Structure 1
């Protein structure tokens, strides 16, 4: 049964794409320069580029959609967002550590969420000139080419993951190779949608802004993307952090990934779902 496309989705996609391109130009002006940087929350890096991009996105997106809520990594949160039917969820620069170090796979991750689920998503990697886009019921694409994550015979199964997760997958006898652990979680995730990675995982504690933009790109490309404790992730709620996450289009990997992530990161008993 076809998925109904929410009203205004295509206009929201155009808005997100335009904002991402302009944000990328701003970020590139700071890239590989003598950046001002500091640390927040004891260990998370921030740069002046993050703030400049966030300021631009706040102005551009909120002016265009004043009735939408707002949740950004670099903006003080307000519960007011939860009273809005739709909400922007924004990571001005995902992979800030890589950005600071001059690596080229950092991204700008943007989403529009309606009733807890994304209806439009963009993950843009300016240096690599890769624009990943999805709309609910409209499919997903990269630079205008449709994405299809269907596993293909003979394709190497690459999975980037922390060492402890690799250990558990090895114990389960899974045949695969270790994939590149890009600093941007959003970029890692959309590589599954593009078919370049067999799976991707995220440790416990990923925030809405880390994953909302990629979520729809994955699901519209046929990838299962789930919180291994709660199933389908929900956004724009009181708690913006998530349990460990798994993404794959390969059904044979779902159970081993769930098991490995639950062993490594834990899962409150009442949260564990038995589906799948």
Structure 2
């Protein structure tokens, strides 16, 4: 079975291929967590606390004797789920705002002023403020991160919409009296998929890092939820005794976020007409 041309071009880049393979491994481990780990991530064994990596515990144990490998593969579910929901929510709401602002000129200025005001604050500070208002639950962290990253997508989609709405084929369908919603859905939105997909991959990576940062600062998801960020946050005071309880969840965050960034760069270069020839 022949792979699509776009996918074949993407796979010609070794860095993107390796990054994609790492992401696939992380996703498979997350989905198969109950079957690839022998321990429950929340089972404590005080007598086995802070054990170094070995045969019994591949990545050692934490301060409560919990198996680090089991916690990391189960924590991948939460970290990836938070990132996926954040990126999807930001793309959906950002695309709606960007389409509306770019196509309807009367709404452009007020919508963009709100977007500019939100982007004036650093991402992490805005996320901390929103989580403090909503409360530190899994759903509220996702909602806060969606609000943080929606303006990024909105600006990109608006800029592309401003260009596409002036093209001849859009002018033609408007002259034919086609309904505005149909123009947006059938003629403009499909031409925005390239920048939207790129933003989706980048925000996925940003959300993993943001969740880890919020948890590290103590304003993220509750400590009993085994995300990679809560693992790093909860093990700070024991890092000098057992470096592995910080090392392995930290590596999981770095590898996943970096792989997503590399795949996003590859998709951007492939979908950008100015960069296609270089591939």
- For Structure 1 versus Structure 2, the TM-score category normalised by the shorter chain is under 0.3
| Structure index of larger Rg | 2
- Which structure features the higher share of strand residues? 1
By relative contact order (CA 8 Å, sep 6+), the higher-ranking structure is 2
